[in-house]
Chains A and B, each alone.
Chain A
Amino acid sequence: MIAQPDFQLSRNAFGRLVFTGPDGRAQEGVVPVRAFPIAAPDQGIALIDSQGHELAWIDRLVNLPDELRTLIEAELGSREFMPEIKRILEVSSFATPCTWQVETDRGVTAFILKGEENIRRLTPPALLITESHGIHFLIRDRFALDHHSRKILDRFL
């Protein structure tokens, strides 16, 4: 079911989102934020103004009209950064801290793992690796990785 929400969203020349609420007041620099980025990324999205106050709550992204949804998805896409590891190419050492060469859905990169405790077990089989600068790398299904990657990963679990 697609219902017309009681607010409007548009993008201005500065690339910022402008929110127009039911009272007709426009606010610039609105940011969409996922409430459950890992557990339920498509449910519960809040629109937050530049002061950090919630303007609107979207239960499900799919219930929004198409143009609004693409706008929000584009904004989320340009802000969200949680590369998903597809393959682990190499680690510099099995003792931490060490440098990992990985292939992600956003290309090949390297990061530094400071300690084993920075690998967090999410609801199995997902893992979340936090690198030294605080960027999160997601492994959606660690059993779906290839043999080489699994073998490397296993040394750290």
Chain B
Amino acid sequence: MQPNPSSSALPPAWATQVESQLVDGEKVLAWLETDLDAQLHFASGLLVVTNLRLLSRSSTDAPWQDWTYRQGIMLTRRDHSGIGSLELADADSLLARWRYTLSNNIAAGRLIEHFLRQLSHHLTGELPPSPEQILCPKCQSVLDTPLPPGQEECALCSKEIYTPPSTWTLFRLWRFARPYKWRLLAGFLLTLGSTAATLVPPYMTMPLMDNVLIPYQNGKPIDTDLVTLYLSGLFGAALLAWMLGWARTYVLALVSERIGADLRTATYEHLLKLSQEYFGGKRTGDLMARIGSETDRINIFISLHLLDFATDVLMIAMTTIILVSINPWLALVTLLPLPIIAWLIHVVRDKLRTGFEKVDRIWAEVTNVLADTIPGMRVVKAFAQEKREAARFRATNQHNLEVNDRVNRIWSLFTPTVTLLTEIGLLVVWIFGIWQVSENAITVGVLTAFLAYISRFYLRLDSMSRIVSFTQKAAAGTKRIFEILDQTSSVPEPANPVHLPTVTGRIELRGVSFRYGTRSVTRDISIAIEPGEMVGLVGHSGSGKSTLVNLICRFYDVTEGAILIDGVDIRSLPVAEYRKHVGLVLQEPFLFFGTIAENIAYGKPEATRAEIVAAARAAHAHEFILRLPHGYDSLAGERGQALSGGERQRISIARALLIDPRILILDEATSSVDTTTEKEIQKALDNLVRGRTTIAIAHRLSTLRGANRLIVLDRGSIVEVGNHDELMARAGHYYNLYQAQARNVDTEDDLRRQDSALKTEEARI
């Protein structure tokens, strides 16, 4: 007998236990580690399918149970709000039930598959052929299509990687700084020079004191030449420091501005690549705040604070060297408070970092409240809820205040403490210095120089302590930016993409399931759509029609199963290349700000004017566009021309026509317009559909008359397939839907007629 690959993968905790249960010639085919018990408490259990029976242990100390294969025995799985259950039943009753969290769902599916194979083997005597099984080398799950060469893990495992971003987030900015490294080096050298220049004047005070002033006090005349020399040295140093300082600030500001701009662009570009799933879970305000203000904060941090910090560190290092070279003992005393300040900075840093992260989050929350309310202003006003919205904003703002207050409490204490330490440090130097002078160990000049140095020195320390807050703010900002940059798209680009230059338009869905959170939206859908065929998706709202279309467009990736186009898994095609083959017409056509011509050419910016006009003609949009004051150059989109729903829809049809896709998806394309307009759109659509594989969703069943086949969905599964007449004859789901609509149609039409009559009247007024 050959060793079974899945038995070797038994979790080590269970392996020996299972071995002891097996009889001769029995081998483990599949297993599932259940992580919940009957009362839904977290408890580890195991379920094993062998070639002889089903073995199970509900927890590590429960007795083993087993069931042999016999007639009527059945294993089924169900899931509900995040928990899956496997039920073993025979014809009369339920035999056992196991529960697990959905992270084990794939293993459960595999277990059932093996169980059913063995069952049929024991009942009929012959082993059904093992389904073409290709296992993912990483997670051992069964794949529907072979992995493209070079790809080492399946889409499911690449989805499951969750590693937190490193804590050294600020260093990750290097990726953006690298292109400017020479300019950065120049900036650093300039900093070095300018800092050194600022250290000359205090040094000059030493000879000025000892060689000029003290001798004068002792009765000697002032040596004018010496004074001129020292003072011109002072002036020269100041001038040099000014020039170098100007150059370095300019160079570094230039670089940081560019880094900031690169960061913003990179973040936005990355954002555009993320899947629809990501945007579903994020709020607009938060994303806008991240890209806008966070990048700016990082930018300022690099150009101002980081620069200051570098200067400070250099200054402190140089000062230390100078001080030690003049008098090591005095230097030691001077530098005494340094470790205390460093420790203080360290302590406060941790508290401040969490504080600033909180401030950022609450700030995003404030923006979110605005972003939620302003687009819905009509609703707010209609329901007279201004007061409530104001209260909501005030509450968030209050929260903002509280968080800020807490941060400020620590922060406000911090700066004065550093100042106090500085003063104490000065005091110590005075005491020690006076004693040394009295002992004649040092000259008055040395003491003066020291005092001049350390007043600068501590001043720098003080400003250095400020960097803590800015660094923390920038680190928090960087973290939030990299959260976007680290987000891998849940519709990942394949590592080794397959290119399909031409597509015939054959779409095949194999066992497609999709789950949104814990909610199973579509279940095990399998269907093949031939090139050029028009298929209508029918069902109640919430039956999974739009989800299916989103999956075919690859806005989301399937949870289980695969979607194939011309026999190739769409996950192995480059996303943008694949979407070029797909044309989409939505219920609410979205027009971007720009001219009508630009909107039509959105999917093909290089289109000629003739092509645009041809597309508009085919979409029956040409004539109304010509009636607009600026024709094709009229502005559409926000604040642009007021176009009616039907007109906007025809523009979006022209948009789809222009890219000439092989696959066309009409998602409720005619739902938001009245029947008259619908007829016009329908004419445009007929042009569009011709010769393309079309998947149409329509609420109004009458619009799907032209479809070759209708697929009736109910709660995520296909319940009926066939053309209109067949389905009517079957008197099933479709029949019920159709009857329900037929009853409404008359009244609906009446209402619409009244409605449009009103509209024309309004227009006349």
| Contact surface of A with B, Cβ cutoff 8 Å | 13-15, 52, 77-81, 83, 92-99, 104, 106-109, 112, 114-117, 130, 132-136, 154-155, 157
Contacts and interface: CB of A to CB of B under 8 A. Distances in A.
A78 B36 CA distance: 11
Interface string B94-138: 100100011100000000000000000000000000000000000
A77 B40 contact: yes
Nearest to A93: B164
A88 B534 CA distance: 54
A5 to B, nearest CB: 24
A130 B517 contact: yes
B557 to A, nearest CB: 15
A117 B281 CA distance: 8
Contact of B40 (A81, A99, A117, A132): A81
Contacts of A157: 358, 361
A81 B43 contact: no
Contacts of B164: 92-93, 95-98
Nearest to B479: A95
B93 A14 contact: yes
Given A13-B93, A98-B164, A155-B354, A133 B102 contact: yes
A133 B101 contact: yes
Contacts of B519: 134
A97 B163 contact: yes
Contacts of A15: 87, 94, 97
B397 to A, nearest CB: 16
13 contacts: A15-B87, A52-B715, A80-B81, A81-B81, A95-B164, A106-B36, A115-B281, A117-B282, A132-B162, A133-B103, A135-B518, A155-B354, A157-B361
Contacts of A114: 162
Contact of A135 (B92, B101, B282, B283): B101
Interface in B265-290: 281-283, 286
Given A13-B94, A52-B715, A108 B42 contact: yes
B89 A14 contact: yes
A104 B42 contact: yes
A99 B103 CA distance: 14
Interface string B286-309: 100000000000000000000000
A133 B36 CA distance: 15
Interface string B477-493: 00100010000000000
A14 to B, nearest CB: 5
B457 to A, nearest CB: 35
A119 B82 CA distance: 17
A43 to B, nearest CB: 19
B167 interface: yes
B348 interface: no
B102 A95 contact: no
A117 B42 contact: no
A10 B594 CA distance: 64
B92 to A, nearest CB: 6
B332 interface: no
B529 interface: no
B39 interface: yes
The range of chain B's interface size is 35 or more
Contacts of B282: 117
A25 B281 CA distance: 44
A112 B160 CA distance: 10
Given A135-B518, A157-B358, A97 B162 contact: yes
Interface of B: 35-36, 38-43, 80-83, 87, 89, 92-94, 97, 101-103, 162-165, 167, 169, 281-283, 286, 354, 357-358, 361, 479, 483, 515, 517-519, 715
A92 B41 CA distance: 23
Contacts of B163: 97
B518 A134 contact: yes
Contact of B165 (A78, A95, A134, A154): A95
Contacts of A97: 162-164
Q: Which of B89, B358, B518 has the most CB of A within 10 A?
A: B518
B59 to A, nearest CB: 11
A80 B81 CA distance: 8
A135 B80 contact: no
Given A15-B87, A112-B162, 4 more contacts: A97-B164, A106-B39, A107-B41, A133-B82
Nearest to B165: A95
Q: Which of B35, B162, B282 has the most CB of A within 10 A?
A: B162
B188 to A, nearest CB: 30
A106 B281 contact: no
A12 B83 CA distance: 22
Contacts of B41: 106-107
A15 B36 CA distance: 18
Contact of A117 (B89, B286, B358): B286
Contacts of B286: 117
B270 to A, nearest CB: 16
Contacts of B93: 13-14
Contacts of A130: 517
Nearest to B518: A134
A99 B283 CA distance: 23
B42 A106 contact: yes
B40 A106 contact: yes
Nearest to A14: B94
Contacts of B518: 133-135
A94 B476 CA distance: 12
A63 to B, nearest CB: 26
Given A81-B83, A107-B43, A95 B94 contact: no
Nearest to A96: B164
Contacts of B80: 79
Contacts of A132: 162
B203 to A, nearest CB: 47
Contacts of B40: 77-78, 80-81, 106
Contacts of A134: 82, 102, 515, 517-519
B560 to A, nearest CB: 14
Nearest to A151: B354
Nearest to B358: A157
A132 B169 CA distance: 24
Nearest to A99: B162
| CB-based closest 9 A-B pairs | A13-B93, A134-B517, A107-B42, A134-B518, A93-B164, A97-B162, A135-B82, A106-B41, A15-B94
